[in-house]
Every structure is written in structure tokens, then in C-alpha cells.
Chains A and B, each alone.
Chain A
């Protein structure tokens, strides 16, 4: 993975010093809250329902064991012994004190981490595929370009006060695990007819109160021009994005209002000008320098079949179930990708205790080249595990309470923190996810239902990605009572779709039954081999409406 050089270190250390000064000025009263708020918001510090919250950047979701141990340590020393992994592949602490924040940032900097641009109207942490480097059909490791973008966007003088926050996601495979079409900019790595690698660019995707799917405005941007092209998009947005209404300030509204064609025209015109100067031309040497950090680890030459694995699958049903749902194919024979579910039955999606972080760090160090990933579905991934080590990895995860076998199944839900933690929420999300998880706890039933993604958000800001859940749940407030609105048919992959609202919202008492009714309806109508989303796309919303509302 990428390692800081002297320049990276210096910049992060200067940032820590700057924030230390800002916090000191606030605590001494030199800065008022109004003056301080935008400064803390440039550094991932929010004031939430119970306390401050700190959001730590995990660039493109990649972590070393050492970094994860530091996150565990910070959780213990400055927080309440845990952290929360988010849909942005970041980590949030829910209880840190403001006065400790500079020390937390200092500790993070010692392991090459920071909270830079994890909030504010700037270019946020770049997100990517958790299978980067290990996926079978990968054209190029998306972390190379993600790191290049991270550096270019850090303290960008022109784009630190955009109309609104800005999120970029990169996918290196045709299967999109990074949800690039619901980001402000989605980058799909492609290869042209001559075998050259370049980038397909989507712009104007996003969730929130006006969900939109990104529009493709470039089929192939050459590698050396990527930063010039991105700078062109950013400049068009910075100049023409709306600033009169916070709800209309994201780039998706600009693209929607002027149209994708006009957006493309403006970006192309700006790109041509920027390209002329050559200042943002990306030298092959720098790409190579960064690429070297993401060189494949020292894989052993192994047979693809592992007798240890095969024996264990036959001997241990729990293990077999876990392999079936949590283990994915690797590009190298004899290796596998292991997904660690942070969705135990009845637990809080994405929460991880400091002890569990330490355990995962040890497992990653021992079995996966000292590295792990955070997924946008709030799980963790060990990308490079020998198949013969899978039984040992499973046992170690089980001992840490991390062997839940439910990846992509109905209990592997995304949920935002909701009203239990968030100052903006209208309703609780986590308890709902927990009740659904308990209702569908039976593993045989989960496997019978198959792949089904339920995403829950506690307000219209859609941090729980409800629009793109196969089943989406949105908490709303009706005259002081929590209600839940259901959408069906959303998807965040290469066939991205925004879910359709099924009908009137449900009460807290009704909602879990309603989810079960939807699932039962699907099971009754599916054809062999169909997932929920396939059935939905074939039959539409009406059968679900009928079973949900006809009897009411």
C-alpha cells in the first residue's frame, strides 16, 4: 500500500499543528463558535447528538494492520472503546473530546493517517473497490489513481470552498463494487482498442433528497490527462454550481439543470484550455512511483484447490456457510478474498470494538500480507488469504465474534447512525436494522432468500443509501412519531437504479412485518435462480403493493 514520503509527512504534520492552534484559540475564547465551526468542519469534527464526532479518513478504504491497531488504540484512549465504519469507507468516533482532538490527530499522523477533508464543502476521501488488486477481472488497481487523486485534491486552493461536498469513486472492474454511478464523479477504469488504460467518467450521481444516477460524459480520458480533466469538471462546478440553495448545490443539480450534453461541452472546453498549459500533465514516472506501492504482494505458487479447505468445508457446517457467503474468488490460484461481516445478528451495522480491531489487525498481519480494506457496505475485507488458511482465519474471526456468515444476505444491511447518534436524523435506523436482522436470523432462510440488500437511512440525507437498497427504508418524522417509508428495486452496482416508493409509510410496529411481507411475496413469485432484484425487475412494484396494502 501507499507509504508517505517526507513531503506527505510534512503536510500532514503541518495540518495537525494548524488544527492544534485552532482548537487552542477556540478553547481560550479567541475564536467564537461561529468562527470555529467551519474550521472544525474542515477536519471531520462534528457536534452530534451526545458529543463531538470525529471522522477519520481511510483513503480508498485501505488500511495496514498497524493503522488499524492505532484506530483501536484511539478508540480506547480517547473514546468508548469502539469505532463505526461508514459507507464512505471511513471510521467515526462518537465520543471524543474537543480538547483531545489535536492529540488524536497527532497519533493518527504517526501511522500516516488524518481527518483532512472528511467534512466541509471540499473534495472528500476518494472511495474505491474493496477487492482492489485481488479481483479477477480487474483492468488496473483502482488505488493507484485514487492515491493520485487524493494528493491532487488535498488542500486544493481552488476547490476548498465548493458549493457543496464532493465525492469521487473509482472502480477498476466492470463489476462495480464502489457505487460509482451515485457519486459526484464516478471513474471507471477501461482499456481502449489499443490496450491503453484510461478512464470513463460519470458525473452528477448522488443520493440525498434528490437521488440521481451519474451521466457518462467521457468514454476515454487518457491516463496522463486525468487530473486536467478532473480539474475541468471541478472548475465548471465551482463556477456554475448553485450557491443559493443548499439542497440544490450538489453537482447533480447542475448536470440535471443544464443537461449532460451541455455539461460535457463545458467540461471539454475547459479541459482543452487546462491541457494546453501542461501543468497538470501526469508524468509516467509519478504514476510508476505510486503504482510500485500497489505492486502485488509476494504470492506463493499454489494449486488452486486446497485439500485443507475442502476437508474443513465437509467437516464444519458453520465454516461451510461462511465460505459460501463471505469468501470470494481471487485472481491468483490458491488464494481467496475474505469478507468480514460487521453485521452480527442484532448488532449495529459497521460498529467494531477496539478489541475486534486488534484481532482483525493480527489476522491481517498473519494471513493477508498485513493489509485490509473497509467496504462501502460497512464491512471489512482481507484481500489476499491463502485458501488453506481459511479454516484458521475463520476460527480466529469466530473467537473475536466476527465470523457472521451473511455477506450480501438479507441481514448484511447498511444503516446510518440515525437518531441514536446523529443530530440531523428524524428517526432511528440501527434498531430497525437490528429487528430485521433478528427476524431473519435463521441462516437457512437467509440462504433461501439469497442476495438481498436492505439499506436504511434515518433522514432524507440518505447516509444509509436507502435509494439504492434492493429494499430501501427511510425514516421520516410525522408529527413527532417515527415512520418508515419503503422503496423497492434500488441498486448501486453497474446496473444502478433508484428505488421506487412502494406506498404509504409504516409505523415502527409495522415495518418489520412489512419487510417480511415483501420477502414472502418475492419468494412466492420468483423463478428459479432469480435474486430479489431480478424478480423485482421482471414483475415490477404492483404485486408488492398489493400484498402490502390490499389487506390493510
Chain B
């Protein structure tokens, strides 16, 4: 498993720990259950924290805690389960979350583009993914018809700008 963060292959500085595991030193990502049970103890550690949400655990469950979290990891139990795309958008657009939104689980190259558009800025990917594959997959479509979290200008608005420029040119 490797971590791509903001388009760069980086070492994962967070340890994902199980519910029964002892907490290691440094930054950790815990389950929602553990977070809810040990919130105070975890925040008292003074290290970076992340929470991992399973499919079915909605971002609203941690909405009030987001300022304490450096990472929210959203799980794709299987690539076909696309719930976390909505979760990512809600985190960013509804809850205004500015920390890392990480895609974990069954994360395949043919989804990179969609994930980034929905506000994921970090992806845990298989070891066979190279920087070349990443670049090709994430940039597969140079245009988008619809607005999403990435702020990319949709085709509709490109058209309007084009039309405005054309009419400005005519006016001159």
C-alpha cells in the first residue's frame, strides 16, 4: 500500500490502529467507534488524529469534531460501493472540512479522477500504481460537465465565458 497525497507519493505519517490495539506514538487513525469511546483520551495525546468512517457511517457523526481531526479516512469496502463519494463531498462542501480526506479500501486507478473531483486529497493505492499511472488516470478527462468539490470550472461556464469573449470582440 502506498499513499498519494496532493498528487505526490509520500510516506504515510499516520498509523491506522485497530480498536483493541495499543496506541503507538505519533499520529493515528482510529475507527469511529474508538473515537466516540476514547475521544477525550485521544485529544489529550496532543498528536495528529484521524477517524476512519466505514460505508454507512456518515460524516454528520463527526461533524462537531472536525476541528480536532487532521484526517478523515473514508472506506471503499469494494470499488462498486460509491457511498464515500457523497461523504467526501459533504465533508468538504457541507461541513467545510479543510483537513485531509483520504480514500482507503478498494481504491482502483479507474476511480482516481472521480475521487479527486469529489474532494479526496489523499488516496491509499496498491503498490503497482506508478506516478505515470496516477497522472494518466487522474487526468483522464480534461473537462467536466458538472461542478464538484474540486472547483474545476464546468463546461457550462467555459461556454459562457467563451460566448462573452466572442460578443466582447464583436463589440470592439
Contact = CB atoms under 8 A, between A and B. Distances in A.
- Do they bind each other? yes
Interface of A: 5, 7-8, 10-11, 14-15, 18, 22, 38-39, 121, 151-162, 227, 235, 238-239, 243, 273, 277, 279-280, 283, 285-286, 289
A277 to B, nearest CB: 7
A243 B81 contact: yes
Q: State the 9 A-B residue pairs at the shortest beta-carbon distance, nearest first.
A: A161-B82, A157-B117, A157-B114, A279-B147, A151-B145, A158-B85, A7-B155, A238-B86, A152-B146
B80 A239 contact: no
Nearest to A42: B110
9 contacts: A5-B159, A151-B146, A151-B156, A152-B146, A157-B144, A161-B79, A161-B81, A161-B111, A239-B58
Nearest to B94: A273
Given A161-B81, A238-B86, 11 more contacts: A10-B142, A14-B141, A14-B143, A157-B148, A161-B80, A162-B82, A238-B83, A239-B87, A286-B159, A286-B160, A289-B159
- Which has the most chain A C-beta neighbours within 10 Å: B86, B87, B117? B86
B160 A7 contact: no
A286 B156 contact: yes
Contact of A158 (B118, B142, B158): B118
The range of chain B's interface size is 35 or more
A243 B159 CA distance: 38
B113 interface: yes
Contacts of B144: 155, 157
B160 A285 contact: yes
Contacts of B141: 11, 14-15, 155
Contacts of B31: none
A158 B89 contact: yes
Q: Taking chain B's interface residues, is the majority helix, strand, or loop, or is none over half, making it mixed? A: helix
B1 interface: no
A158 B148 contact: yes
B61 interface: no
B55, B82, B158 — most chain A CB neighbours (10 Å): B82
Contacts of A10: 142-143
Contacts of A235: 86, 89
A243 B75 CA distance: 14
A238 B82 contact: yes
Contacts of A152: 145-146
Contacts of A14: 140-143
A552 B116 CA distance: 65
A285 B157 CA distance: 10
Q: Provide the main secondary structure of the chain A interface.
A: helix
Contact of B160 (A155, A156, A283): A283
Interface string B110-153: 11011101100000000000000000000011111111100000
Nearest to B148: A157
A191 B52 CA distance: 47
Nearest to B145: A151
B82 A155 contact: no
Most buried by A among B111, B140, B145, B163: B145
B150 to A, nearest CB: 8
Nearest to A278: B147
Most chain B CB within a 10 A radius of its CB, from A18, A39, A160, A239: A239
A121 B143 CA distance: 22
Contacts of B85: 157-161, 238
Nearest to B139: A14
Contacts of B38: none
B33 interface: no
B114 A239 contact: no
Contacts of B160: 283, 285-286
B143 A7 contact: yes
A283 B87 CA distance: 27
Contact of B80 (A8, A121, A157, A273): A121
A38 B106 CA distance: 14
Interface string B99-114: 0000000000011011
B124 to A, nearest CB: 17
B93 interface: yes
A280 B147 contact: yes
Contact of A160 (B94, B114, B142, B163): B114
Contacts of B146: 151-153, 156-157, 227, 280
Interface in B70-91: 79-83, 85-87, 89
Contacts of B117: 157
Contact of A239 (B86, B93, B155, B158): B86
A151 B145 CA distance: 6
Contacts of B86: 158, 235, 238-239
Given A238-B86, A283-B156, A285-B163, A11 B145 contact: yes
A286 B161 CA distance: 11
Given A7-B143, A285-B160, A151 B155 contact: yes
